[in-house]
C-alpha cells in the first residue's frame, strides 16, 4: 500500500477512527495489526523478514541487558549486526557482489559463472533494518534501556507511517511515545491533516508531473540541447525532493494525527550555503544515523586530517551503497564525500569572509552566491543518482555546455524547454507548482517556521481558502498513477 493510492485514503480514516475509539490497552495492538497489514498489502511473505529483524534485535538487546561481561555484550551485538546486515546483503547486494567477483576473476584470466538470485527487494528493508540496528546499538551503549514489551518494540520497528521510507526513527524518540496514552486531541488531528495535505501536493502535483518531463529527457537524452538537459537535471532535483520530502510530510502528518511526533527529515535543503549544510538538511534521519553509528566511532573529525578525510569518504561511500546496489549510487555518494573533503579546507575561510561581510550588500550577495553554488553542486550530483548507466552520466557531463546558442531565438528556446514535458499543460503545471514551492520554502526560511504551522495562524476563512486551493490543485493537476515513491526501492 502506498500513500498516493485510493486504498490508503480508505485505510487511514479507519486507522484513526479505530485508534481513538478503542480502549487504551488495545491501541498499540491495533496499530501493530494495521502496520503489518499495511506492509503485507505489498508482499505478505516478506513481512516475515520484518518480524525476524524485530525478534533478533529485541532478543539481542534483552541478552545484553542481562550480560555483565563486556566481551559477551560485544559478541551478542556483533552477531546481531552480522545477521541483519547479512539479510540486507543477500537481498540487495548479492548479485552486485558476485558480478564484481566474476569481473575480477576475468581480469585474472579465470572464467567463472556465478549463480544469480535476482531476489525481489523487500520494500523499505534498508529503513527498518537500520532502525532496528540503531536500537540494539543504543542498548549496548547504555543510552536507552531494553524495551520489555515485545509488542511495543514490534510496533516501533513496523509503525506504518514511517515503515517503508522513513524517517529512520531513534528508539529514544519513538519508543517512549508508545508507552503514553494518546487521547483524541483535535489540534493534533488538524495539524496532521495539514501536514499530509502539503505532502500530497508536493508528491502528486509537483513530483509526479516533473517525473513525466525527467523520464522523457532520460529516454531521449540525445535530442535535447545543453540548456534543456540542465533544466531536466535540476527538475529531477526538485522531483526527488518533493517525492521523498512529500512522503516524509505525509508520514509526519499521519503520525501526528494519531498523536505521535516523528523527527523532521528535511529542512529546506536547497537553501543551504554549503554541501555540509545540505546534508544537515537533507534526509536528516539517515545522515544522523551514519554520523552517530559510523562516522563518530571511526573518529569523526577528532583525528588527523588524512583520517578525517578518509572517514568522510567512507561514510559517503556507505551512504551511496545504502541507496542501491549500483556503482552510479556509489559514485553519487563519493561525489558528495569529495565535496565535503574540499569544504574541510575551503569552508572555514568562506565562512570567515561571510562573517566579516554580514549586514552589508556584499555579504548578502555572497550568501546568495553560496546558495546558488550549493544548489548547482547538489543537482549535478543527482546525475549519478538518476542515471541508469555511466554512458548517461558521461553524456550529460559532456553535453551540458553545448547548444546554448538556442537563446538567440527566444521563441525557439521556449519551444525547446516546453518539449521537455511534451505538453504545454504539463509544462505550465510544473512551472506554477515549482514557483508555489519556492515561495512557500522561502517564507519558511525567512520565518523559521513550517508553512503548515503558519497556515494555522491565519483566520479561518483564509485557512480554508488555502486548503481548498491545495485540494483542487491535487484533484485537477495531480499526476495520479504515475509513480510510486522513489525511496520505496531502497
Is residue 126 exposed (0-12), middle (13-18) or buried (19+ Cβ within 10 Å)? buried
Distance CA 268, CA 427 (A): 24
| 432-442 per-residue burial string, b: 16 or more CB within 10 A, e: under 16 | ebbebbeebbe
Q: How far is CA 458 from CA 194, 270, 444, 445, 466, in A?
A: 13, 27, 15, 18, 10
d(CA 46, CA 299): 37
DSSP state of 273: S
- For residue 196, the tally of other CB atoms under 10 A from its CB is 24
The angle subtended at Cα 308 by Cα 94 and Cα 373, nearest 5°, is: 85
Q: How many Å apart are CA 328 and CA 390, to the nearest integer?
A: 7
Instruction: Give the list of residues 6+ apart from residue 408 with CB closer than 8 angstroms, or none.
Output: none
* Residue where the block lists cell 546496489: 325
Give the Cα separation of 209 and 203 in Å (integer): 9
What are phi and psi for residue 266, nearest 5 degrees? Answer: -140, 145
* C-alpha grid cell, residue 75: 559478541
Q: What distance in Å separates the CA atoms of residue 263 and residue 339, rounded to the nearest whole number?
A: 27
182: preceding bond cis by omega (within 30 degrees): no
Q: Which of 62, 146, 308, 323 is catalytic?
A: 323
Q: Which residue in this structure is represented by grid cell 521556449?
A: 414
What is the rounded distance in angstroms from the CA atom of residue 102 to the CA atom of residue 356? 56
Residues 263/169, Cβ–Cβ less than 8 Å: yes
Cell (9 digits) for 190: 488538524
336 among known catalytic residues = no
151 touches 29 (CB < 8 A):
yes
H/E run at residue 211 = helix 208-219
The set of cell numbers assigned to 250 is 505525509
Q: Which three cell numbers stand for residue 297?
A: 566511532
C-alpha cell at 450: 513550517
Q: Is 274 left (phi over 0), alpha (psi -120 to 50) or beta?
A: beta
Residues belonging to the active site: 323
Amino acid at each position: 500500500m502506498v500513500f498516493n493510492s485510493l486504498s490508503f485514503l480508505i485505510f487511514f480514516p479507519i486507522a484513526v477512527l479505530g485508534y481513538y475509539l478503542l480502549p487504551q490497552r488495545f491501541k498499540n495492538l491495533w496499530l501493530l495489526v494495521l502496520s503489518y497489514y499495511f506492509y503485507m498489502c505489498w508482499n505478505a511473505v516478506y513481512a516475515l523478514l520484518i518480524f525476524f529483524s524485530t525478534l533478533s534485535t529485541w532478543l539481542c538487546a534483552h541478552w545484553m541487558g542481562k550480560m555483565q561481561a563486556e566481551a559477551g555484550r560485544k559478541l551478542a551485538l556483533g552477531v546481531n549486526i552480522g545477521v541483519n546486515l547479512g539479510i540486507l546483503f543477500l537481498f540487495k547486494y548479492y548479485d552486485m557482489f558476485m558480478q564484481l567477483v566474476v569481473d575480477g576473476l576475468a581480469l585474472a584470466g579465470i572464467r567463472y559463472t556465478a549463480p544469480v538470485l535476482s531476489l525481489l527487494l523487500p520494500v523499505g528493508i534498508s529503513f527498518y533494518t537500520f532502525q532496528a540496528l540503531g536500537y540494539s546499538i543504543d542498548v549496548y551503549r547504555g543510552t536507552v534501556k531494553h524495551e520489555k514489551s515485545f509488542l511495543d518494540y514490534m510496533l516501533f520497528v513496523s509503525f506504518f507511517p514511517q515503515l517503508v521510507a522513513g524517517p529512520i526513527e531513534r528508539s529514544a524518540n519513538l519508543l517512549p511515545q508508545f508507552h503514553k496514552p494518546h487521547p483524541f486531541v483535535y489540534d493534533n488531528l488538524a495539524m496532521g491533516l495539514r501536514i499530509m495535505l502539503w505532502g500530497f501536493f508536493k508528491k502528486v502535483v509537483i513530483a509526479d508531473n516533473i517525473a513525466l518531463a525527467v523520464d522523457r529527457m532520460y529516454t531521449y537524452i540525445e535530442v535535447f540541447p545543453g540548456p534543456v538537459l540542465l533544466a531536466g537535471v535540476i527538475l529531477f532535483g526538485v522531483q526527488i525532493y518533493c517525492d521523498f520530502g512529500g512522503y516524509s510530510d505525509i508520514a509526519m502528518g499521519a503520525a501526528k494525527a494519531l498523536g505521535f511526533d516523528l523527527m523532521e527529515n528535511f529542512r529546506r535543503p536547497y537553501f543551504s550555503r554549503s554541501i555540509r549544510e545540505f546534508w544537515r538538511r537533507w534526509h536528516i534521519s539517515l545522515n544522523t544515523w551514519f554520523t552517530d553509528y559510523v562516522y563518530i566511532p571511526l573518529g569523526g573529525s577528532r583525528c588527523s586530517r588524512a583520517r578525517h578525510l578518509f572517514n568522510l569518504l567512507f561514510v559517503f561511500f556507505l551512504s551511496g551503497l545504502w541507496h542501491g546496489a549500483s556503482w552510479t549510487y556509489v559514485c553519487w555518494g563519493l561525489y558528495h564525500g569529495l565535496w565535503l573533503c574540499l569544504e574541510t579546507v575551503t569552508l572555514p575561510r568562506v565562512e570567515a569572509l561571510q562573517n566579516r561581510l554580514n549586514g552589508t550588500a556584499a555579504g548578502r550577495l555572497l550568501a546568495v552566491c553560496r546558495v546558488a553554488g550549493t544548489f548547482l553542486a547538489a543537482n549535478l550530483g543527482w546525475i549519478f543518482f538518476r542515471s541508469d548507466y555511466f554512458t548517461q552520466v558521461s553524456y550529460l557531463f559532456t553535453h551540458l555546455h553545448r547548444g546554448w546558442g538556442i537563446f538567440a531565438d527566444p521563441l525557439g528556446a521556449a519551444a525547446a524547454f516546453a518539449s521537455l514535458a511534451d505538453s504545454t499543460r504539463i509544462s505550465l503545471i510544473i512551472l506554477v507548482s515549482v514557483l508555489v514551492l519556492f515561495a512557500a520554502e522561502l517564507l519558511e526560511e525567512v520565518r523559521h517556521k513550517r508553512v503548515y504551522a503558519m497556515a494555522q495562524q491565519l483566520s479561518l476563512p483564509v485557512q480554508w481558502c488555502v486548503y481548498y486551493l491545495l485540494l483542487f490543485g491535487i484533484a485537477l493537476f495531480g499526476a495520479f498513477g504515475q509513480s510510486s515513491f522513489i525511496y520505496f526501492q531502497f
